[in-house]
Amino acid sequence: MSLSLLLPRPGVAALLTSWPDEPCGYEREAGALDRVITAESIDHYIGTGCVPADEIAVASYGAAPHPDRHRTAGRTDPAKLRRLYEDGHTIRLGNLQRVVPFLADVSRGIQRETGFSNYSHAFVTPPGRQGLLSTTEPSRGRICCVTTADAACAIPNL
């Protein structure tokens, strides 16, 4: 069951029986998701330049630089991306379920279990910084899967 990779049993049961009308949080034991999607694996993915350029967004305290700041000749430039991160920007890696086979399997499983499409983004924010402004979107579930002292966080949206 893919939802059980993200939520403990009470969270899975709650999500499958009713949609919450206010934010709720659950703690779960580490599992397969935590072994595959780690701060190190996200950092490596950023460093390879394999992230599709159109799936990257960069922001710092709500302000977004021009996309060419992380591209060279229209392609992802890992050195530019790293500099933006080191300058305090949050990096959003979008639609990971399209390029990470494990997350593709998880996404398909969640769709089978819930009947709803979904996607996975990773947000990587330097410690002590805020890239995105707070927002409440009642139609989306946000589940933090990875968090470390280096502030990597993968967030599937259901």
> For residue range 80-127, what is the model confidence (pLDDT) as tens digits?
999 999 999 999 999 999 999 999 999 999 999 989 888 888 888 888
Instruction: Give the DSSP H/E element, type plus range, for residue 10.
Output: helix 9-17
- Res 158 pLDDT > 80: no
Q: How confident is the model at residue 15 (pLDDT cuts 50, 70, 90)?
A: confident
Structure tokens at 52: 């599709």
The domain of 30 spans 3-157
pTM of the model: 0.80
pLDDT digits (tens, 9 = 90+) for 18-65: 877 777 788 888 889 889 988 899 999 999 999 999 999 999 888 899
The count of structural domains within the chain is: 1
How far apart CA 62 and CA 51 sit, in angstroms, is 22
- Residue, of 144 and 47, whose pLDDT is higher: 47
Which 3 state secondary structure label does DSSP give 28? coil
pLDDT value of residue 134: 59
Phi, psi of 63 (to 5 degrees): -95, 135
pLDDT digits (tens, 9 = 90+) for 104-114: 999 999 999 98
CB neighbour list of residue 116: distance below 8 Å, 6 or more residues apart: 110, 158
